[in-house]
Homo-oligomer: A and B are copies of this chain.
Amino acid sequence: MIGRLLRRGRAIAKERIGPVIARRQPTRTDLPLGTWGLEVGPTGTVWSDGVDLAALAAEHGTPLHVVRADRLDANASSAMAASESADVFASYKTNPVPAVLARLHGHGIGAEVISPYELWLAMRLGVPGERIIYNGPAKSPASIRTAVRHGALLINANSVSEARLIAAIAAEEQRVVNLGLRITVPGAWIAQFGVPDLGAAADAVRTALDDPWVALRGLHVHRGLTIRSAATMSAYVGAVLERAAELRARTGWSPAILDLGGSLACPTSSSLPTRQHRLNRALGSDLLPPDPADCLRIADAARLAAAQVGRDAAAAGLAPPRIVLEPGRALTGDTQFLLTSIIDINDGPLPHAIADAGINVAEPVTSEYHQLISVTSPGLPATIPYRLAGPICTPADVLYQHWRLPQLAPGHVLAIMDAGAYFVPFSTTFSFPKPAIVLQDGPEVTVLRTRETYEGMTSLDVHPSV
């Protein structure tokens, strides 16, 4: 009874107060198409550097990932512009497409891998040991052995017991391993990652220093929470240096390599603030884009870290360590977008547009800002609110709770921007095959990964019918 009254009260409050709150929220101002090198082309549809995206979608089918070669190259060379300040290793897990990774390696960027598979992939792509860092909480003994034999620049131990395991394997192999130790700092991820206790970390350092098969070269920290501003980066580096000093005070050891991990932001995408996300769902307020101009870039982060670490080392009378950054989102996030087609519109008070891409291929959209663009009718005003649902049969398969677009119809093409981070690795084969990935290099479009076939989806099954 009380529950029912409360529910009724909430419903009335939502009905009366909701529109007032909704009206007071700021209205969306889309980032201009030019932000991603897109424009309205002569056909009235969105073109990407001379290529009509509506035609591209028709030719290759949707969903379709499009990687922009020029933007990937630009991000890579801009990251390498400060390579004297910090050494950049690409986070494989963020966008594990071999051709994308190979292109980054072509710019001199190293490989940050977190699993036996990713280590295998880096070696397949011809990455030498000194350009590989092996992280992650779940390294198999066999893969540690491989990394030791391949002479990885760093194998960062996630725990005290893993440090022991790595040392034991190095001894078996009679090969000196380049060990790093992952620790934690306040304000960064702890959970299953790194050694949180200073005493335990100091013991691990002493053990490693005493081991003839271990060269303890690295100290590794990863913030996890996204770094968007110089202030955040600076506070984070300060916390790392403080922890490193404490460890030095206890052990006399200072690392030759300071691995600051990743977490650098994609300028045009960001986590949705909880309140904004809820108001969008409940009342249809607009989602607001981040300000791309106000985002720390990889090279700036490198220079900032180098200056701060250099001052710290000078004050301690030490040679400054080599700094490593492991960006993912900042490197590839805004170099890729996902084209999707409307399959059906289910009418109602809020029309539900059903797209052929859902959480099966665009999972990050449920918690991050990703601008949604009408490829078919970019010139028309975005006045009609839609809920954009995906193709799989669950109400959780909603990418946009409430997003204004020009009138949609089946066959219309949309572009979900900033699909270059975590879209591909988090994708599933829930009822639908995984999409193709193409690379656009000026007018040339080549296939990097072909669409999964139905036969391919059952290729590992042992059954006479498939």
Give the docked Cα–Cα distance between A93 and B434 (Å). 15
In the bound complex, do residue B192 and residue A395 qualify as a contact, i.e. CB atoms below 8 Å apart?
yes
Give per-residue flags for A420-447: 1 if the beta carbon is below 8 A from chain B beta carbons, else 0: 0000011111111110000000000011
Q: Which of B189, B429, B449, B456 contacts A395 (CB 8 A)?
A: B189
Give the docked Cα–Cα distance between A454 and B136 (Å). 18
Give the docked Cα–Cα distance between A192 and B358 (Å). 12
For residue A187, CB closer than 8 A to chain B, the reply is no
- Given A93-B392, A446-B462, A449-B460, the answer on whether A454 and B98 have CB atoms closer than 8 Å is no
In the bound complex, do residue B343 and residue A98 qualify as a contact, i.e. CB atoms below 8 Å apart?
no
For residue A308, CB closer than 8 A to chain B, the reply is no
Within 8 A of B (CB), among A358-416: 387, 389-395, 397-398, 410
How many identical subunits does the complex contain?
Answer: 2
For residue A448, CB closer than 8 A to chain B, the reply is yes
In the bound complex, do residue B449 and residue A121 qualify as a contact, i.e. CB atoms below 8 Å apart?
no
For residue A458, CB closer than 8 A to chain B, the reply is yes
- Given A136-B393, A192-B398, the answer on whether A117 and B457 have CB atoms closer than 8 Å is yes
In the bound complex, do residue B449 and residue A391 qualify as a contact, i.e. CB atoms below 8 Å apart?
no
- Given A114-B392, A197-B348, A425-B431, the answer on whether A460 and B466 have CB atoms closer than 8 Å is no
For A347, the chain B residues whose CB sits under 8 A away are 159-161, 197, 200
Interface size on A, residues (CB 8 A): 88
For residue A211, CB closer than 8 A to chain B, the reply is no
In the bound complex, do residue A450 and residue B462 qualify as a contact, i.e. CB atoms below 8 Å apart?
yes
In the bound complex, do residue A135 and residue B393 qualify as a contact, i.e. CB atoms below 8 Å apart?
yes
For residue A196, CB closer than 8 A to chain B, the reply is yes
Q: Which of B116, B200, B393, B465 contacts A93 (CB 8 A)?
A: B393
Give the docked Cα–Cα distance between A220 and B447 (Å). 41
Q: Give A143 Cβ to nearest chain B Cβ, in Å.
A: 11
For A393, the chain B residues whose CB sits under 8 A away are 93, 114, 135-137, 193
Q: Top 8 closest A-B pairs, CB basis?
A: A138-B391, A192-B389, A115-B431, A192-B352, A159-B346, A191-B395, A425-B430, A98-B463
Would you list 10 pairs from A and B whose C-beta atoms are within 8 A, ordered by A residue?
Answer: A92-B431, A98-B458, A102-B463, A114-B431, A138-B354, A158-B344, A190-B348, A196-B348, A425-B429, A448-B463
